Amino acid sequence: MAELQHRPGTGSISAAISNAAVRVLSEFTGRGPTKARTTLDRDLVVVVFGDSLTKAELTLVEKGEGEFVIAMRHRFQKAMQNDLRNAVETLTERKVIAFMSANHLEPDLAVEVFVLEPLPDGEGGEA
């Protein structure tokens, strides 16, 4: 699909990706982030989450165990990878060729980055 921003009858693809990603995080961690924003650009999908850490994780961060929380989140992200990729592929109708993920503790932010298979020359927005 060349144009990623809107699909007739389904609303914003970026909002749908945000909602799907929040749902996946919630299923895996027991609590989804309270903020999510998805940005789309030709072959790139970036989801930024805010307020994603659980109460237990926040407690560990306060007790100086931030590195443990980051390592645990990295494991969750690896475990969630297929579900997140499938959601993005379904909603964009494009293959995800790369997935990257990172967390930041203070402020509480997380990011999921998806690189989509390139469109043939001449299709879709600007490179």
Q: What is the CA radius of gyration of the chain?
A: 15
Mean pLDDT computed over 63-90? 96
Judged against a pLDDT cut of 50, whether residue 126 lies above it is answered with: no
Mean pLDDT computed over 15-42? 94
How confident is the model at residue 122, as a pLDDT?
57
Phi, psi angle pair for 44, to nearest 5° = -135, 135
How confident is the model at residue 121, as a pLDDT?
74
Q: Are 25 and 52 in contact (CB under 8 A)?
A: yes
Q: State the alpha helices, DSSP H only, in 30-122.
A: 55-62, 66-92
How confident is the model at residue 120, as a pLDDT?
81
Q: What angle do CA 79, 33, 46 make, to 5 degrees?
A: 70
- Cis peptide before 33, with omega less than 30 degrees from 0? no
pLDDT in tens, 31-59: 889 999 999 998 999 999 999 999 999 99
